[in-house]
Amino acid sequence: MSLQEKRQEYKCGDSYVTLADIPPWSKSARTREGQDISPTSAINEKISIFQGDITKLEIDAIVNAANARLAGGGGVDGFIHRGAGAVDLQAECQSLGGCETGQCKMTGGYRLPAKYIIHCVGPIGEKPELLASCYKNALDTLKAAKLRTIAFPCISTGVYGYPNDNAADVVLKTVKTWLEDSANQAAVDRIIFALFLDRDLEAYKERLPRYFPQ
């Protein structure tokens, strides 16, 4: 199917967002400061923040904050199941036999603009190692599947109750460490933090210059 044909099938119609619409962090900082400086680190070309609905992103893979049964639920999980077409996605999820906390499983994206969904099961409550494990496993899964673009919601910070600021620290540290491996860095084009709530946008904006200095 051509991209034009696939776009006709999107449940979100023509409200999809392409990678070209989302500047990398290096560019965001340059624009903000009104300066045309070259990025100090290649890593800064590989990450972005995006405020909005993750299900609109026309990229290789979006991450779902799933439950252990992969049964579909509320929050971002509900958005993803509705955006994909709940019946088809549920059938594939049911065939996977659930997923352990901190682990992930990949499915097709069906009628989402994203090609694949990586379903991560985040910890209930503040368990930094399990949260870090979600992000690392999702990135390893992306790389193993030879996919190059991914977006993450703020896993566990909704119903699962992980404090937003502390989660942002774990996420940025984990992603930075993963990207510092040169083979990983070469394997991805963009890692997008899809921030739905203003409080998460603020938490990431405050921390990005610290973890990813320009």
Q: Is 74 helix (H, G, I), strand (E, B) or coil?
A: coil
CA distance 191 to 152: 8
Among 175, 194, 203, 208, binds ligand ADP (CB under 6 A): 194
Query: Which of 167, 177, 178 is CA-nearest to residue 207?
Result: 167
Q: How many CA atoms lie within 13 A of 201 on its CB side?
A: 8
The structure tokens listed for 31 are 């624009």
- The region of 5-13, 30-38, 53-61, 174-182 touching ligand ADP under the rule CB under 6 A is 53-61
Interaction of residue 203 with ligand ADP, rule CB under 6 A: no
Answer for the pair 54, 197: CB distance below 8 angstroms, yes or no: no
Rounded to the nearest whole angstrom, what is the least distance from the CB of residue 9 to ligand ADP in the complex?
19
**What is the 3 state secondary structure string of 119-154?**
EEECCCCCCHHHHHHHHHHHHHHHHHCCCCEEEECC
By CB under 6 A, tell whether 58 contacts ligand ADP.
no
Question: Is the CB of 142 or the CB of 203 nearer to ligand ADP?
Answer: 203
Minimum Å gap between C-beta 59 and ligand ADP is 13
Q: Which residue has 């619409």 as its token pair?
A: 21
The site for ligand ADP, by CB under 6 A, has a size of: 21
**Looking at the DSSP assignment, which residues form a beta bridge with residue 117?**
62, 107
**155 lines the binding site for ligand ADP (CB under 6 A):** yes
Least Cβ distance, residue 2 to ligand ADP (angstroms): 27
Q: Between residues 54 and 118, which has the closer beta carbon with respect to ligand ADP?
A: 54
Strand partners, 58: 18
157 binds ligand ADP (CB under 6 A): yes
Site string for ligand ADP, 85-124 (x = CB under 6 A): -------------------------------------x--
Q: Contact positions toward ligand ADP, by CB under 6 A?
A: 53-55, 65, 75-77, 79, 122, 153-160, 194, 196-197, 200
